[in-house]
Amino acid sequence: MRKKIGIVWLILLCLSVQMWAQPAKTVLFLMPFYSSTYDENASAVARTGKELNNIPSFQMMGFWGGAQIALQEYEEQNIPLNIIVRDITNNETKLQSIMEDRELMSQVDLIIAPLFSKPFQIAAQYAKTYQIPIVNPFTSRSDILDGNEYVYKLTPADEANPATLAFMVDNMPHHQIILYADSTKKNVEYQSYVSYFTTHHISYQTANSIQGVLNALRSDMHNVLVVLNHGEATSLTLSQKLLYSGKAVDPKHLTMVVPEKWIFSNTYDVEYYDKLNLHFFSDYYVDFESQQVQLFSYKFTKQFNTLPTLKNFAFQGYDIVRYFVELIRHDMDHDQVKVAPLSYYFSFDKHPDGGYENVNVQFLQVLDNTILPATY
């Protein structure tokens, strides 16, 4: 018996030694901190978080704060990481000098780069040369993936919305989809819906005016109205017509999918939320009631004396570090990543001739003035 116990302890010891013997992964952050243009007076007179976030030097501080919370959790778990941070804005010469440092780049396992379009494209080309995965958190442009299998694009493409909607309404009996856009030729979002629905043989109606919407609605079907006009005037007029015209619609027979900015507009009347069964797509969603989110918020607030929000990118910074550090620790095998993000919904598809794109968008609904994941 003692011999067996000794063997077990020996095996555990060997596994422990192997774990500690693994070399530390190195993460390079290319951050637009604008430290060279930091204005202490401007930060001193800022009265609100919004005013502070409008100062270039602070726009990515929330993101970096969330990233730091994630890095501290790895430190607490005794998981070694090497972190390198470089302040990059639009100075292409500075960026190139960093990326051309072969001694530095030979150590890097992952690049996290919330940069503007041109600097990111430069960094991505170097990442391809060095064969280092590089993450872009915020751009919606799919061309950054072309010909570069090392790029990870986190913001889903326009096609993700119609794909998600089609999946959701497939469970609705006896429904019709109405696409409302007053300008269809120049509306990229509208064209994405039409292209996806046509390719996948999904039937739909179109309307190019509010009256056209009213004419298309049917009382004997569940109407899924997808509004692809973003103007505030449209939001108020359409909502009023749907509620108070002679052809008022029962919310039980209506799912209204609207632009995200309607939900947070100061001019949009909250009475419309439940009465029109409002839904919307978003790149992020945070369940503030979850213990995981509350623990993160406590840590963030205690350390930085401000609340983490989606607008200051704190949750996004945390999620990206946790997910992608786990990815490089598991040799880029997505199936081995067990992290539950706070704000993202990660699921990646690889482009045939390029990088990886997150294809899952959040589909949300407003219920009793609360934003929740949509379910059917």
Question: In this structure, are 214 and 127 located in the same domain?
Answer: no
Residue 40 placed within a domain: yes
pTM: 0.85
Residue 371 placed within a domain: no
Residue at a domain's end among 281, 296, 319: 281
Question: In this structure, are 259 and 294 located in the same domain?
Answer: no
Nearest to 355 by CA among 161, 160, 93, 155: 155
3-state helix, strand, coil in the chain (%, to 5): 45, 15, 40
> Does the pLDDT value for residue 5 go beyond 80?
no
Residue at a domain's end among 281, 302, 319: 281
> Does the pLDDT value for residue 110 go beyond 70?
yes
Number of domains in the chain: 2
Q: Give the residue with greater pLDDT, 268 vs 175.
A: 175
Q: Give the residue with greater pLDDT, 110 vs 44.
A: 110
Question: In this structure, are 36 and 150 located in the same domain?
Answer: yes
> Does the pLDDT value for residue 71 go beyond 60?
yes
pLDDT in tens, 171-219: 888 999 999 998 776 788 999 999 999 999 999 999 999 999 999 998 8
Q: Which CATH number do you get for residue 150?
A: 3.40.50.2300
**Which domain covers residue 247, as residue numbers?**
160-281
Half-sphere exposure of 249 (CA within 13 A, CB side): 28
Q: Give the residue with greater pLDDT, 364 vs 267.
A: 364
Residue 173: exposed, middle, or buried by beta-carbon count in 10 A (0-12, 13-18, 19+)?
exposed
Question: In this structure, are 121 and 150 located in the same domain?
Answer: yes
> Does the pLDDT value for residue 37 go beyond 50?
no
Question: In this structure, are 97 and 196 located in the same domain?
Answer: no
> Does the pLDDT value for residue 245 go beyond 80?
no
Question: In this structure, are 128 and 166 located in the same domain?
Answer: no
Highest mean pLDDT among 9-23, 48-62, 73-87: 73-87
Residue at a domain's end among 248, 281, 314: 281
Question: In this structure, are 313 and 270 located in the same domain?
Answer: no
Q: Which CATH number do you get for residue 228?
A: 3.40.50
Residue 80 placed within a domain: yes
Contact by Cβ (8 Å): 343, 297: no
Sign of the dihedral through C-alpha 6, 10, 12, 16: positive
> CB-based contacts of 355: which residues, under 8 Å, 6+ apart?
144, 145, 148, 149, 150, 151, 152, 153
Lowest mean pLDDT among 214-223, 293-302, 308-317: 214-223
How high is the mean pLDDT of the chain?
85
pLDDT in the model for residue 99? 96
Residue 15 placed within a domain: no
Question: In this structure, are 152 and 164 located in the same domain?
Answer: no
Residue with tokens 């969603």: 285
Question: In this structure, are 91 and 195 located in the same domain?
Answer: no
Question: In this structure, are 205 and 104 located in the same domain?
Answer: no
Helix (H, G, I), strand (E, B) or coil at 130: helix
Measured at the CA of 68, the angle between CA 66 and CA 51, to 5 degrees, comes to 50
